[in-house]
Amino acid sequence: MPNSSMIDITHRPRRNRKNAAVRNLVQENTVTVNDLIYPLFLIEGKNKKSEVHSMPGIFRRSSDLLLKEIEECMNLGIMTFDVFPGLSEKLKDKKATESLNEKGLYLSTLREVKKRFPEALIMTDVAMDPYSSDGHDGFVKNGEILNDETLEILAKMAVAQAEAGADIIGPSDMMDGRVGYIREALDDNGFSNVSIMSYTAKYASAFYGPFRDALDSAPKFGDKKTYQMNPANSKEALLEADLDFNEGADFLMVKPALSYLDVIKLLNDNFNIPIAAYNVSGEYAMVKAAAAKGWIDGDRVRNEILLSMKRAGASVILTYFAKEFAKSIK
């Protein structure tokens, strides 16, 4: 006979929460190091390392120290890295010509990384802003960012990066038609196996500030709202995703991630290719700042944030938390 003091409840979900073993048994989503891409900042010089003041624990490194960092991360199980170049102003011009310099910092470092660590998966950034004297992702003429004129520059940049050993090309510029243009250029030059992770829904967000500190890549005039998306829009992300998918993208990315979990889910529900989320610099910085004040448990919040992106549908997460997360589970 049932205890007369017990209420007659057929379903008691708490039974599946009663101890750690059962909670682990029924857990729906898990974040592992296999899900993560670690963004790295490359700078000129030798034996140089400087912390990004707005991103505690994140450093700009010269190529020799970048190689050591990659090796250390691979020993923790991280196998995929997104490398961003920080160049001096003297190397920048209106057409981003330094992006094609085979002996330049970026391409020579990529070749050395692939030579030393052929098993590492290397992602690169395709946009003009790291190399542009205007600081914009596209070619500027008379104060306007020109779409079609930019595509040829981006395609040459992508081919140069593929020649240097890039495994995944990441067009982050948000120019119309660039995925198809780059895909054709890669294929025509014998790089049909190089993947494209398109920055599909890249929003004109306030969360990018620390990244621009890291690379000194802020636009010299205006903003990026004529090519990056309006944070108010989600249906527009479906249009961008449909275009990128049909132009040959292998991954569709949402950037930023934390304030756009609905967009991650929207793309995951509508496209049968992997969805990536970029857990951006501002999201990282907020956690670090609050944790430093003792207002939150930084490790638990980090894990919860990454899990929210996985739960929303991201199978790939680019995050500055990658190394410390890997250490925490090692």
pLDDT surpasses 70 at 90: yes
Q: Answer for the pair 168, 123: CB distance below 8 angstroms, yes or no.
A: yes
Residue in the structure block whose two tokens are 């496209």:
271
- Known catalytic residue: 202? yes
Task: Find all residues with CB under 8 Å of 107, minimum gap 6, and list them.
Answer: 100, 101, 160, 161, 163, 164
pLDDT value at position 242?
98
Residue 218 pLDDT: 64
For residue range 264-277, what is the model confidence (pLDDT) as tens digits?
Answer: 999 999 999 999 99
- Tens-digit pLDDT profile for residues 22-33: 999 999 999 999
Mean pLDDT over 135-139 rounds to: 82
The structure tokens listed for 294 are 């003792």
Spell out the alpha helix ranges (H) of 18-146.
Answer: 20-25, 63-75, 105-116
Question: Considering the entire predicted model, what is its pTM?
Answer: 0.93
Query: pLDDT tens digit string along 53-73?
Result: 999 999 999 999 999 999 999
Which pLDDT band holds residue 144 (cuts at 50, 70, 90)? confident
The pLDDT, as a whole number, for residue 70 is 98
- Lowest-confidence range among 53-67, 158-172, 219-233, 264-278? 219-233
Residue 7 or 120, more confident? 120
94 a catalytic residue: no
The per-residue pLDDT for 3 is 60
Which phi and psi angles does 92 have, rounded to 5°?
-95, 145
According to the per-residue pLDDT averaged within each range, which of 31-40, 92-101, 218-227 is highest?
31-40
Q: Cβ neighbours of residue 83 under 8 Å, at least 6 residues apart?
A: 39, 40, 42, 66, 106, 109, 110, 113, 122, 123, 124, 125
Q: Which of 92, 95, 224, 255 is catalytic?
A: 255
Instruction: Identify the pLDDT of residue 25.
Output: 93
Which pLDDT score, from 0 to 100, does residue 214 have? 65
Domains, the chain, ordered by start: 29-329 (3.20.20.70)
Residues 188-198: pLDDT tens digits? 999 999 999 99
- Cis status of the peptide bond prior to 2, with omega within 30 of 0: no
- What are the backbone dihedrals phi and psi of residue 114, each rounded to the nearest 5 degrees, phi first? -70, -30
CA distance 27 to 141: 53
Q: For residues 315 and 31, what is the distance between their CA atoms, to the nearest angstrom?
A: 9
Residue 113 DSSP SS3? helix
How many C-alpha atoms does 280 have within 13 Å on its Cβ side? 22
pLDDT given for residue 317 in this prediction: 98
Q: Which residue among 92, 95, 156, 202 is the active-site one? A: 202
pLDDT bucket at 134, cuts 50 / 70 / 90: confident
- In the predicted model, is pLDDT for residue 213 greater than 80? no
pLDDT band at 139 (very low <50, low <70, confident <90, very high): confident
Average pLDDT estimate for 153-181? 96
CB crowding 140-172: b at 16 or more within 10 Å, else e: beeeebebeebbebbbbbbbbbbbbbbbbbbbb
Chain mean pLDDT for the chain: 93
Is the per-residue pLDDT at 2 higher than 60?
no
pLDDT for res 264: 98
For residue 1, pLDDT over 60 is answered with no
Which of 134, 24, 124, 23 has the alpha carbon at shortest distance from 80?
Answer: 124
Q: pLDDT tens-digit profile of 34-55?
A: 999 999 999 999 999 999 999 9
| Owner of token pair 């790939």 | 316
Say whether pLDDT at 216 is over 70: no
- Label residue 209 by pLDDT band (50, 70, 90): confident
137, 92 contact by CB (below 8 A): no
